[in-house]
């Protein structure tokens, strides 16, 4: 298994063969990986578009960018890596004169090493600072959210972004047990409200997901990334998105559904007044999920959901 210069193995990309298929790779094209991570999808793009396909890779996490740079070094002459959030994908592509591009991949999951590195505070198994920022330049940490937000705001975040049925009780327990310094402390607080009782999924999973989404502005950034991606694709260019929870997948599904229609007026309106024109053709009539064999090899992809469309 290939490893980075830190010794940590590189993340295995989800749904790799499906991504390659939907991107319709070919030599000479221009491709964008808007969520570069460990560079697994980018590597397949560079190999599949040889000998002269070009790739731009974006990631808000500078550490991820450097790991990917190492992995992709053999293709240094055909790639450009940018430390930027995928919400600014259109700006980055146009700044480098790459528009229009042939295909874009957005993989919305964290790399395994990000979850496993204790100092990042993403995992509820580690006695590490409660951080969860993808970029050190971001001001708000998960510790600030947990320790300073009001109980009602915490409950709303956990319920909305984590879809946690115990959100109100968990928020109450968090406020009562402040200050909270580490990820492990927070996990134990959640578990005191919602005991594990033999469940395969840790009871803190939804709460940690909610805090991560809130800290990094994931939902707002995703909406910006989808719109930006559609704005820099060539006619026939492909957009492929992999989501890992229902909130993100719903945003992606609704974006593709809306942009595949000539009219988005409410059904009860007898005549169209919106003037909307379809921009994309949806390629995935049903969401694409990992095969049982892939899940057996890499259990962390079990919740992955892929959708794809082509620009009209």
Q: Shortest CA distance to 203 belongs to which of 189, 183, 213, 222?
A: 189
Could you read off the pLDDT of 34-54 as tens digits, one per residue? 999 889 999 999 999 999 999
Which domains, ranges and CATH numbers included, belong to the chain? 16-113+218-311 (3.40.50.150), 117-216 (1.10.150.170)
**Cα separation values, 64 from 95, 108, 113, 236, Å:** 22, 14, 9, 30
Beta strands in the chain (DSSP E): 30-33, 54-59, 79-83, 101-107, 233-243, 280-282, 305-311
Strands of the sheet containing 54-59, edge to edge, are: 79-83, 54-59, 30-33, 101-107, 233-243, 305-311, 280-282
As given in the structure block, the two tokens for residue 212 are 């991560």
- 231-287 pLDDT tens trace: 999 999 999 999 999 999 999 999 999 999 988 888 878 788 888 899 999 999 999
**CA dist., res. 179 & res. 238, Å (int):** 47
258 vs 276: CA distance, rounded Å: 9
**Model confidence pLDDT, tens digit, residues 168-206:** 999 999 999 999 999 899 999 999 998 877 677 789 989
User: Token pair for residue 160?
Assistant: 């909305």
Q: How far apart are CA 228 and CA 206, in angstroms?
A: 29
pTM of this prediction?
A: 0.90
Measured CA distances, 49 to 26, 44, 54, 107, 309 (Å): 5, 8, 8, 19, 20
CA dist., res. 153 & res. 148, Å (int)? 10
pLDDT for 271 = 83
């Amino acid at each position: 298994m290939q490893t980075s210069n830190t010794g940590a193995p590189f993340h295995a990309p989800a749904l790799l063969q499906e991504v390659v298929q939907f991107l319709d790779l070919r030599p000479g094209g221009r491709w964008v990986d808007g969520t570069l991570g460990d560079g697994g999808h980018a590597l397949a793009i560079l190999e599949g578009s040889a000998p002269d396909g070009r790739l731009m890779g974006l990631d808000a996490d500078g550490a991820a960018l450097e790991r990917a740079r190492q992995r992709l070094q053999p293709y240094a002459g055909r790639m450009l890596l940018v430390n930027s959030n995928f919400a600014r994908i259109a700006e980055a592509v146009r700044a480098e004169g790459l528009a229009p591009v042939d295909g874009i991949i957005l993989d919305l999951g964290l790399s395994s090493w990000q979850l496993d590195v204790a100092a990042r505070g993403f995992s509820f198994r580690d006695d590490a600072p409660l951080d969860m920022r993808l970029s050190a330049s971001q001001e708000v940490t998960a510790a600030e959210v947990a320790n300073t937000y009001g109980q009602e705001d915490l409950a709303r975040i956990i319920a909305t972004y984590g879809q946690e049925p115990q959100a109100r009780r968990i928020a109450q327990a968090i406020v009562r047990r402040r200050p909270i310094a580490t990820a492990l402390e927070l996990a134990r607080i959640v578990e005191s409200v919602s005991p594990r009782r033999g469940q395969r999924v840790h009871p803190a999973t939804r709460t940690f997901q909610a805090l991560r989404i809130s800290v990094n502005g994931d939902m707002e950034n995703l909406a910006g990334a989808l719109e930006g991606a559609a704005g820099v694709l060539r006619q026939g260019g492909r957009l492929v998105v992999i989501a890992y929870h229902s909130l993100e997948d719903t945003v992606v599904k609704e974006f593709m559904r809306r942009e595949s229609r000539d009219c988005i007026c409410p059904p009860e309106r007898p005549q169209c007044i919106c003037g909307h024109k379809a921009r994309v053709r949806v390629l995935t009539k049903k969401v694409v999920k990992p095969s049982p064999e892939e899940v057996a090899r890499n259990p962390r992809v079990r919740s992955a959901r892929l959708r794809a469309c082509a620009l009209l």
